[in-house]
Structure 1
Amino acid sequence: MRRFLRGFRYAWAGIVAAVRTERNFRFHLCAAAYVLWFSQYYTFTSVEYALLALCIGGVMALELVNSAVERAVDKPDVAHWRAAGSAKDMAAGAVLVFSAAAVVVGLCLLGDWEVLCRIMKLYTSNLPAAAALLLSAVLAVLFIRGRKPKDI
Protein backbone atom coordinates (compact mmCIF):
# COMPACT_ATOMS: atom_id res chain seq x y z
CA MET A 1 0.00 0.00 0.00
CA ARG A 2 2.86 2.35 0.79
CA ARG A 3 4.36 1.86 -2.65
CA PHE A 4 0.97 2.51 -4.22
CA LEU A 5 0.57 5.80 -2.33
CA ARG A 6 4.16 6.80 -3.15
CA GLY A 7 3.14 6.69 -6.82
CA PHE A 8 0.64 9.49 -6.19
CA ARG A 9 3.40 11.56 -4.60
CA TYR A 10 5.59 11.10 -7.68
CA ALA A 11 2.69 11.98 -9.98
CA TRP A 12 1.97 15.13 -7.97
CA ALA A 13 5.66 16.06 -8.11
CA GLY A 14 5.50 15.77 -11.91
CA ILE A 15 2.49 18.06 -12.09
CA VAL A 16 4.18 20.61 -9.81
CA ALA A 17 7.34 20.45 -11.95
CA ALA A 18 5.26 21.12 -15.07
CA VAL A 19 3.55 24.11 -13.44
CA ARG A 20 6.92 25.52 -12.42
CA THR A 21 8.76 24.99 -15.69
CA GLU A 22 6.33 24.58 -18.61
CA ARG A 23 4.76 27.75 -20.00
CA ASN A 24 2.33 25.83 -22.22
CA PHE A 25 1.10 23.82 -19.24
CA ARG A 26 0.43 27.06 -17.35
CA PHE A 27 -1.40 28.43 -20.41
CA HIS A 28 -3.64 25.36 -20.54
CA LEU A 29 -4.32 25.64 -16.80
CA CYS A 30 -5.47 29.24 -17.25
CA ALA A 31 -7.56 28.38 -20.30
CA ALA A 32 -9.24 25.61 -18.31
CA ALA A 33 -9.93 28.00 -15.44
CA TYR A 34 -11.60 30.50 -17.79
CA VAL A 35 -13.66 27.77 -19.47
CA LEU A 36 -14.89 26.62 -16.07
CA TRP A 37 -15.47 30.22 -14.93
CA PHE A 38 -17.62 31.06 -17.96
CA SER A 39 -19.39 27.69 -17.94
CA GLN A 40 -21.30 28.87 -14.86
CA TYR A 41 -23.39 31.08 -17.16
CA TYR A 42 -24.68 28.05 -19.08
CA THR A 43 -27.15 25.40 -18.04
CA PHE A 44 -24.96 22.41 -18.81
CA THR A 45 -26.03 18.89 -18.07
CA SER A 46 -23.74 16.56 -16.18
CA VAL A 47 -22.79 14.95 -19.51
CA GLU A 48 -21.75 18.32 -20.93
CA TYR A 49 -19.65 19.04 -17.84
CA ALA A 50 -18.14 15.56 -18.17
CA LEU A 51 -17.23 16.36 -21.78
CA LEU A 52 -15.55 19.60 -20.66
CA ALA A 53 -13.68 17.70 -17.94
CA LEU A 54 -12.49 15.07 -20.44
CA CYS A 55 -11.27 17.76 -22.83
CA ILE A 56 -9.49 19.68 -20.08
CA GLY A 57 -7.99 16.53 -18.60
CA GLY A 58 -6.94 15.23 -22.01
CA VAL A 59 -5.15 18.43 -22.98
CA MET A 60 -3.40 18.63 -19.60
CA ALA A 61 -2.39 14.95 -19.71
CA LEU A 62 -1.00 15.25 -23.23
CA GLU A 63 0.88 18.40 -22.26
CA LEU A 64 2.49 16.43 -19.41
CA VAL A 65 3.40 13.61 -21.81
CA ASN A 66 4.81 16.12 -24.29
CA SER A 67 6.95 17.68 -21.57
CA ALA A 68 8.15 14.24 -20.47
CA VAL A 69 9.12 13.28 -24.03
CA GLU A 70 10.95 16.58 -24.48
CA ARG A 71 12.92 16.02 -21.28
CA ALA A 72 13.65 12.38 -22.06
CA VAL A 73 15.12 13.11 -25.49
CA ASP A 74 16.46 16.61 -24.87
CA LYS A 75 20.16 15.89 -25.43
CA PRO A 76 20.48 12.80 -27.59
CA ASP A 77 23.77 11.57 -28.97
CA VAL A 78 24.52 12.29 -32.62
CA ALA A 79 23.20 8.91 -33.81
CA HIS A 80 19.75 9.54 -32.29
CA TRP A 81 19.35 13.26 -33.03
CA ARG A 82 16.82 12.86 -35.88
CA ALA A 83 14.70 10.30 -33.98
CA ALA A 84 14.69 12.52 -30.88
CA GLY A 85 13.52 15.49 -32.93
CA SER A 86 10.74 13.43 -34.50
CA ALA A 87 9.62 12.14 -31.09
CA LYS A 88 9.41 15.68 -29.75
CA ASP A 89 7.51 16.87 -32.83
CA MET A 90 5.05 13.98 -32.62
CA ALA A 91 4.38 14.60 -28.93
CA ALA A 92 3.77 18.29 -29.64
CA GLY A 93 1.52 17.28 -32.54
CA ALA A 94 -0.54 15.10 -30.20
CA VAL A 95 -1.14 18.10 -27.95
CA LEU A 96 -2.10 20.21 -30.95
CA VAL A 97 -4.56 17.64 -32.33
CA PHE A 98 -6.29 17.11 -28.99
CA SER A 99 -6.33 20.85 -28.25
CA ALA A 100 -7.98 21.54 -31.62
CA ALA A 101 -10.63 18.92 -30.86
CA ALA A 102 -11.14 20.47 -27.40
CA VAL A 103 -11.62 23.89 -29.02
CA VAL A 104 -14.31 22.42 -31.28
CA VAL A 105 -16.06 20.91 -28.25
CA GLY A 106 -15.73 24.24 -26.45
CA LEU A 107 -17.23 26.14 -29.37
CA CYS A 108 -20.12 23.69 -29.55
CA LEU A 109 -20.83 23.98 -25.82
CA LEU A 110 -19.96 27.63 -25.20
CA GLY A 111 -20.91 29.12 -28.57
CA ASP A 112 -24.49 30.05 -27.67
CA TRP A 113 -24.77 33.62 -28.97
CA GLU A 114 -27.50 34.61 -26.50
CA VAL A 115 -25.46 33.48 -23.50
CA LEU A 116 -22.33 35.16 -24.86
CA CYS A 117 -24.25 38.45 -25.22
CA ARG A 118 -25.58 38.10 -21.69
CA ILE A 119 -22.02 37.54 -20.38
CA MET A 120 -20.74 40.57 -22.30
CA LYS A 121 -23.58 42.70 -20.93
CA LEU A 122 -22.84 41.53 -17.40
CA TYR A 123 -19.16 42.43 -17.59
CA THR A 124 -19.68 45.74 -19.40
CA SER A 125 -22.41 46.95 -17.02
CA ASN A 126 -20.93 45.73 -13.74
CA LEU A 127 -17.70 47.53 -12.81
CA PRO A 128 -16.66 45.15 -10.00
CA ALA A 129 -17.20 42.12 -12.27
CA ALA A 130 -15.25 43.79 -15.08
CA ALA A 131 -12.45 44.70 -12.67
CA ALA A 132 -12.30 41.12 -11.38
CA LEU A 133 -12.12 39.79 -14.94
CA LEU A 134 -9.40 42.28 -15.89
CA LEU A 135 -7.41 41.53 -12.74
CA SER A 136 -7.69 37.81 -13.38
CA ALA A 137 -6.45 38.31 -16.95
CA VAL A 138 -3.41 40.28 -15.74
CA LEU A 139 -2.65 37.62 -13.12
CA ALA A 140 -3.09 34.89 -15.72
CA VAL A 141 -0.60 36.56 -18.08
CA LEU A 142 1.92 36.96 -15.25
CA PHE A 143 1.39 33.32 -14.22
CA ILE A 144 1.79 32.06 -17.78
CA ARG A 145 4.93 34.10 -18.40
CA GLY A 146 6.40 32.90 -15.11
CA ARG A 147 10.06 33.01 -14.31
CA LYS A 148 12.78 31.52 -16.44
CA PRO A 149 12.92 27.86 -15.42
CA LYS A 150 16.11 26.50 -13.92
CA ASP A 151 17.60 23.47 -15.59
CA ILE A 152 16.04 20.33 -14.21
Structure 2
Amino acid sequence: MNFRKFFRSFIYAANGICHVLKSEQNFRFHVFAAIVVTTVGMLTGLSQIEWIIIVLSIFGMFMIELVNASIERIVDLVTPELHPLAKQAKDLAAGACLIYAICTVIVGLIIFIPKWSGIIL
Protein backbone atom coordinates (compact mmCIF):
# COMPACT_ATOMS: atom_id res chain seq x y z
CA MET A 1 0.00 0.00 0.00
CA ASN A 2 1.31 3.42 -0.97
CA PHE A 3 0.68 5.60 2.08
CA ARG A 4 1.57 8.80 0.24
CA LYS A 5 -1.16 8.20 -2.34
CA PHE A 6 -3.53 7.15 0.42
CA PHE A 7 -3.04 10.36 2.41
CA ARG A 8 -3.08 12.47 -0.75
CA SER A 9 -6.56 11.11 -1.45
CA PHE A 10 -7.75 12.85 1.75
CA ILE A 11 -6.40 16.14 0.42
CA TYR A 12 -8.30 15.62 -2.85
CA ALA A 13 -11.47 14.84 -0.90
CA ALA A 14 -11.02 17.96 1.26
CA ASN A 15 -10.51 20.02 -1.91
CA GLY A 16 -13.82 18.68 -3.23
CA ILE A 17 -15.62 19.56 -0.01
CA CYS A 18 -14.11 23.07 -0.01
CA HIS A 19 -15.12 23.52 -3.64
CA VAL A 20 -18.72 22.50 -3.05
CA LEU A 21 -18.91 24.81 -0.01
CA LYS A 22 -17.72 27.73 -2.15
CA SER A 23 -19.75 26.98 -5.27
CA GLU A 24 -23.03 25.34 -4.24
CA GLN A 25 -25.68 27.40 -2.48
CA ASN A 26 -27.78 24.33 -1.64
CA PHE A 27 -24.83 22.65 0.08
CA ARG A 28 -24.29 25.75 2.24
CA PHE A 29 -27.99 25.72 3.11
CA HIS A 30 -27.71 22.09 4.20
CA VAL A 31 -24.69 22.92 6.37
CA PHE A 32 -26.73 25.70 8.00
CA ALA A 33 -29.67 23.32 8.50
CA ALA A 34 -27.31 20.73 10.02
CA ILE A 35 -26.03 23.31 12.51
CA VAL A 36 -29.60 24.26 13.46
CA VAL A 37 -30.71 20.62 13.82
CA THR A 38 -27.63 19.74 15.86
CA THR A 39 -28.19 22.72 18.17
CA VAL A 40 -31.88 21.89 18.62
CA GLY A 41 -30.97 18.25 19.17
CA MET A 42 -28.55 19.17 21.95
CA LEU A 43 -31.16 21.39 23.59
CA THR A 44 -33.85 18.73 23.23
CA GLY A 45 -31.90 15.82 24.66
CA LEU A 46 -32.05 13.19 21.94
CA SER A 47 -31.46 9.53 22.64
CA GLN A 48 -28.44 7.72 21.22
CA ILE A 49 -30.49 6.09 18.45
CA GLU A 50 -32.09 9.44 17.56
CA TRP A 51 -28.61 10.98 17.25
CA ILE A 52 -27.50 8.13 15.02
CA ILE A 53 -30.49 8.73 12.74
CA ILE A 54 -29.87 12.50 12.69
CA VAL A 55 -26.16 12.09 11.92
CA LEU A 56 -26.87 9.59 9.12
CA SER A 57 -29.51 11.94 7.70
CA ILE A 58 -27.20 14.97 7.78
CA PHE A 59 -24.20 13.25 6.25
CA GLY A 60 -26.40 11.43 3.73
CA MET A 61 -27.64 14.84 2.56
CA PHE A 62 -24.07 16.10 2.27
CA MET A 63 -23.17 13.00 0.25
CA ILE A 64 -26.04 13.29 -2.18
CA GLU A 65 -25.32 17.00 -2.71
CA LEU A 66 -21.71 16.13 -3.54
CA VAL A 67 -22.87 13.47 -6.01
CA ASN A 68 -25.33 15.93 -7.55
CA ALA A 69 -22.58 18.53 -8.00
CA SER A 70 -20.35 15.85 -9.54
CA ILE A 71 -23.03 14.84 -12.03
CA GLU A 72 -23.57 18.48 -12.98
CA ARG A 73 -19.84 18.94 -13.62
CA ILE A 74 -19.56 15.75 -15.67
CA VAL A 75 -22.57 16.67 -17.79
CA ASP A 76 -21.15 20.16 -18.40
CA LEU A 77 -17.81 18.62 -19.39
CA VAL A 78 -19.39 16.17 -21.82
CA THR A 79 -21.73 18.64 -23.49
CA PRO A 80 -21.43 22.37 -22.83
CA GLU A 81 -24.41 23.13 -25.09
CA LEU A 82 -28.00 22.62 -24.09
CA HIS A 83 -29.12 19.07 -24.74
CA PRO A 84 -32.36 17.39 -23.59
CA LEU A 85 -30.51 14.37 -22.13
CA ALA A 86 -28.02 16.61 -20.31
CA LYS A 87 -30.92 18.52 -18.79
CA GLN A 88 -32.60 15.27 -17.77
CA ALA A 89 -29.41 14.01 -16.11
CA LYS A 90 -29.07 17.22 -14.11
CA ASP A 91 -32.78 17.29 -13.25
CA LEU A 92 -32.69 13.64 -12.12
CA ALA A 93 -29.71 14.29 -9.85
CA ALA A 94 -31.39 17.37 -8.41
CA GLY A 95 -34.58 15.37 -7.95
CA ALA A 96 -32.67 12.77 -5.94
CA CYS A 97 -31.45 15.56 -3.65
CA LEU A 98 -34.97 16.88 -3.25
CA ILE A 99 -36.40 13.46 -2.42
CA TYR A 100 -33.71 12.83 0.19
CA ALA A 101 -34.21 16.33 1.66
CA ILE A 102 -37.95 15.63 2.01
CA CYS A 103 -37.10 12.30 3.65
CA THR A 104 -34.79 13.99 6.16
CA VAL A 105 -37.45 16.57 7.02
CA ILE A 106 -39.99 13.81 7.66
CA VAL A 107 -37.48 11.89 9.80
CA GLY A 108 -36.67 15.08 11.71
CA LEU A 109 -40.34 15.77 12.35
CA ILE A 110 -40.89 12.20 13.56
CA ILE A 111 -38.01 12.64 16.02
CA PHE A 112 -38.64 16.23 17.15
CA ILE A 113 -42.45 16.64 17.24
CA PRO A 114 -42.91 14.32 20.25
CA LYS A 115 -40.15 16.23 22.05
CA TRP A 116 -41.72 19.59 21.24
CA SER A 117 -45.23 18.50 22.17
CA GLY A 118 -43.99 17.81 25.70
CA ILE A 119 -42.48 21.30 25.86
CA ILE A 120 -45.47 23.07 24.31
CA LEU A 121 -48.15 21.35 26.39
Residue ranges of structure 1 left out of the alignment (5+ in a row)? 119-152
Shift of 1:77: 5.6
Distance in 1 (CA, whole Å) between partners of 2:35 and 2:67 is: 21
1:97 maps to which residue? 99
1:55 maps to which residue? 57
Distance in 2 (CA, whole Å) between partners of 1:11 and 1:83 is: 29
Q: What is the letter of the counterpart of residue 100 of structure 1?
A: I
- The 1:12–1:77 alpha-carbon spacing in structure 2 relative to 1, beyond 3 Å, is closer
- The 1:33–1:77 alpha-carbon spacing in structure 2 relative to 1, beyond 3 Å, is closer
1:124 maps to which residue? none
Residue ranges of structure 2 left out of the alignment (5+ in a row)? none
Q: Which has the larger radius of gyration?
A: 1
Give the aligned length.
116
Larger RCO, structure (CA 8 Å, separation 6 or more): 1
Residues 70-89 of structure 1 aligned to structure 2 (within 5 Å) = 70-74=72-76, 76=79, 81-89=83-91
Q: What is the letter of the counterpart of residue 75 of structure 2?
A: V
* Structure with the bigger percentage of helix: 2
Identity of aligned residues (%): 36
Range moving further from structure 2, 67-76 or 24-33: 67-76
